[in-house]
């Protein structure tokens, strides 16, 4: 199924102030893979994620999502294919109620009311949030907000999920629930995180970024066993491997 | 500072009330919006010395809030919080306008006092009506009704976002203020200059957040229109509600009802 492939070729990006955040990134992620992107603060993880559904346009190089290269014209298709969950749920949940928020994407896709309603219910059921439908998002706990933020993306039935720091600010129970939830998804998953223990649980493959480059790309276990590599990437062996 | 916290919490109460399930709640948001706007227009169209003629209009917010089971003390509290603005507006009237209009039990009542009372009354009527509208309809529905009635979409979207993010913004401001309080001792570190920096910070953070929210919206296919998955249905009772109240407002505007009533009574009782 070639349309679930994420391919990045020699991607470069510099911010307007001249800071080069990505300097030549290439990788290929296949259908159903679960890939972690790890690295120090400022390594370029978030900038990379923003390229994957066209929030940022490549200065040089190419991003391909499935069959199309990412361009202005393919943007709507790409955005439907790639569901992006941002780091701060308050940025993602902007509607008056949880229901309206989860319905926002499908309504913009122009789906009929009944279909939207069905999708909202099924997305909320998937994340265990049916009872939250009528609540205003600012009244939710951190864990609930995160779950609903994921539902807002699921309701558009994307093939690829991109998550930025999904476990940040969560208590251990909420974190565990989230990991279980993500484990159940068959989507292609791309997760940028500092939570290396979660990576051990969820991702078979890990990409280590450092100062806009890819330092390593391989099986998670191998990478986390390489102390020299971890040190170079400002990382630490996860607790479960010590 | 905790004051802001609690008063924001009260906005939450408004949301809770709006989730109620009474006859008034069930009306079409557009009906309530139109009636409330007409009510406000009627109230502000009265002359500056008219107090008695305004009194019958009290029926509108009273009837609605009783029907919708909105607690009176809550409305009064809200009214009190906003009242300093109205008091400020009318404060100098009694001093500036000394013409004697009435004699009540031997004391002279000046035009200034009458207009002051009229201002307070008009303030109380309009603010209560607006509060009752939101408490029986919900902010999002009011915005939706506004769009349906032809208000530019961007305006309704702005209102919607204002309401959603006022909590986030206040929380951010509170956190900053707490951080400052913890590191300032006595009067040092609390000056106006620091407040200036903090406001600037808050503005920059807000702009950053606005950028991130916009990005999140684009990711989910935002094209300039915020859609809600709700049907509005205009039924006969909505029509009756609007026509009935509009008729009453017209009556109260054209005739001075208390006066007419008084004269009628005088005729009946010789």
- Please indicate, yes or no, whether residues B110 and B175 belong to a single structural domain of this protein: no
pLDDT band at B189 (very low <50, low <70, confident <90, very high): low
Neighbours of B227 (CB within 10 A): 18
Burial B186-223, CB ≥16 within 10 A → b, else e: eeeeeeeeeeeeeeeeeeeeeeebeebbebbbbbbbbe
For residue B9, give the chain A residue with the closest CA: A139
- φ, ψ at A60 (rounded to 5°): -155, 150
pTM of the model: 0.79
The predicted pLDDT at position A1 comes to 47
Q: For chain A, first and last CA: distance in Å?
A: 38
Neighbours of B126 (CB within 10 A): 20
- Please indicate, yes or no, whether residues B143 and B259 belong to a single structural domain of this protein: yes
- Please indicate, yes or no, whether residues B70 and B130 belong to a single structural domain of this protein: yes
- Please indicate, yes or no, whether residues B163 and B242 belong to a single structural domain of this protein: no
- Please indicate, yes or no, whether residues B57 and B180 belong to a single structural domain of this protein: no
- Please indicate, yes or no, whether residues B50 and B181 belong to a single structural domain of this protein: no
For the record, the structure tokens of B173 come out as 């401001």
Chain A CB within 8 Å of residue B228 CB:
yes
pLDDT band at B266 (very low <50, low <70, confident <90, very high): confident
- Would the pLDDT of B4 be above 90? no
Please tell me the total count of domains within chain B.
2
Q: What is the pLDDT of residues A14-27, one digit of tens each?
A: 988 888 899 999 99
- Would the pLDDT of B230 be above 80? no
Task: Tell me the ipTM for this assembly.
Answer: 0.82
- Please indicate, yes or no, whether residues B163 and B214 belong to a single structural domain of this protein: yes
- Please indicate, yes or no, whether residues B28 and B115 belong to a single structural domain of this protein: yes
The predicted pLDDT at position B257 comes to 81
Minimal Cα–Cα distance from B182 to chain A, Å?
A: 23
- Please indicate, yes or no, whether residues B107 and B165 belong to a single structural domain of this protein: no
In chain B, the percentage of residues whose pLDDT exceeds 90 is 27
Q: What is the pLDDT of residues A153-198, one digit of tens each?
A: 999 999 999 999 999 888 999 899 999 999 999 899 999 999 999 9
The third-level CATH classification (topology) of the domain covering A2-241 is Rossmann fold (3.40.50)
Instruction: Please state the domain extents for chain A.
Output: 2-241
- Would the pLDDT of B50 be above 90? no
- Please indicate, yes or no, whether residues B133 and B255 belong to a single structural domain of this protein: yes
- Please indicate, yes or no, whether residues B28 and B69 belong to a single structural domain of this protein: yes
Minimal Cα–Cα distance from A108 to chain B, Å?
A: 6
Q: Which domain holds residue B86?
A: 1-150+235-270
- Please indicate, yes or no, whether residues B27 and B125 belong to a single structural domain of this protein: yes
For residue A119, give the chain B residue with the closest CA: B229
Chain B CB within 8 Å of residue A114 CB:
no
Best residue in A136, A149, A153, A169 for a mutation probing chain B (most B CBs within 10 Å): A136
Torsion A126-A127-A128-A132 (CA) sign: negative
Under 8 Å between Cβ of B61 and B127: no
Chain A CB within 8 Å of residue B227 CB:
yes
- Chain B residues closer than 8 Å to A113 by CB: 229, 231
What is the average per-residue pLDDT within A231-239? 90
CB contact under 8 A, B216 and A94: yes
Minimal Cα–Cα distance from A70 to chain B, Å?
A: 14
CB contact under 8 A, A96 and B212: no
- Chain A residues closer than 8 Å to B221 by CB: 76, 79-80, 105, 108-109, 156
Closest Cβ–Cβ partner in A113, A134, A139 for B229: A113
Count of residues in chain B: 270
């Amino acid at each position: 199924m070639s349309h679930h492939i994420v391919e990045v070729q020699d991607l470069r990006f510099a911010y307007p102030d001249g800071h080069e955040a990505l300097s030549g990134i290439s990788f290929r992620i296949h259908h159903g893979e679960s890939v972690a992107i790890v690295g120090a603060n400022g390594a370029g993880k978030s900038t990379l994620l923003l390229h994957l559904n066209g929030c940022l346009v490549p200065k040089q190089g190419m991003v391909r999502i499935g069959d199309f290269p990412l361009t202005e014209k393919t943007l709507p298709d790409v955005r439907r294919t790639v569901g992006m969950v941002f780091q701060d749920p308050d940025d993602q949940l902007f509607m008056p109620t949880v229901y309206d928020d989860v319905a926002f994407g499908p309504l913009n896709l122009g789906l009929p009311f009944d279909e939207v309603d069905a999708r909202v219910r099924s997305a909320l059921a998937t994340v265990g949030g049916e009872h939250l439908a009528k609540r205003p998002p600012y009244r939710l706990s951190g864990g609930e907000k995160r779950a609903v933020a994921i539902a807002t993306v699921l309701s558009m039935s994307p093939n690829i999920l991109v998550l930025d720091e999904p476990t940040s600010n969560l208590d251990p129970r909420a974190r565990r629930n989230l990991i279980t939830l993500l484990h159940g998804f068959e989507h292609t998953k791309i997760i940028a995180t500092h939570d290396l223990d979660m990576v051990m649980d969820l991702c078979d493959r890990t990409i280590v970024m450092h100062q806009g480059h890819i330092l390593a790309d391989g099986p998670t276990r191998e990478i986390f066993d390489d102390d020299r590599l971890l040190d170079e990437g400002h990382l630490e062996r996860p607790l479960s491997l010590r | 500072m905790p004051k802001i916290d609690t008063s924001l919490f009260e906005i939450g109460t408004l949301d809770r009330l709006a989730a109620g399930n009474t006859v008034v709640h069930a009306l079409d948001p557009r009906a309530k919006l139109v009636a409330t706007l007409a009510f406000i227009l009627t109230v502000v169209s009265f002359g500056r010395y008219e107090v008695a003629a305004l009194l019958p209009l009290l029926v509108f917010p009273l009837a609605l809030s009783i029907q919708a089971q909105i607690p009176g003390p809550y409305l009064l509290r809200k009214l009190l919080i906003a009242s300093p603005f109205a008091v400020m507006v009318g404060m100098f009237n009694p001093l500036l306008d000394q013409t004697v209009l009435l004699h009540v039990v031997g004391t002279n009542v000046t035009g200034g006092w009458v207009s002051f009372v009229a201002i307070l009354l008009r303030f109380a009527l309009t603010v209560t009506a607006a509060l009752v509208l939101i408490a029986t309809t919900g902010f999002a529905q009011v915005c939706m009704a506004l769009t349906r009635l032809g208000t530019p979409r961007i305006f309704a979207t702005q209102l919607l976002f204002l309401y959603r993010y006022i909590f986030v913004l206040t929380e951010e401001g509170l956190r900053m203020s707490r951080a400052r309080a913890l590191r300032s001792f006595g009067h040092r570190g609390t000056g106006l200059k620091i407040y200036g920096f903090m406001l600037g910070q808050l503005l920059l953070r807000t702009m950053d957040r606005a950028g991130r929210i916009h990005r999140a919206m684009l990711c989910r296919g935002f094209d300039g229109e915020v859609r809600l998955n709700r049907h509005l249905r205009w039924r006969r009772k909505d029509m009756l509600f609007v026509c009935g109240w509009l008729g009453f407002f017209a009556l109260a505007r054209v005739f001075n009802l208390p006066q007419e009533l008084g004269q009628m009574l005088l005729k009946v009782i010789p």
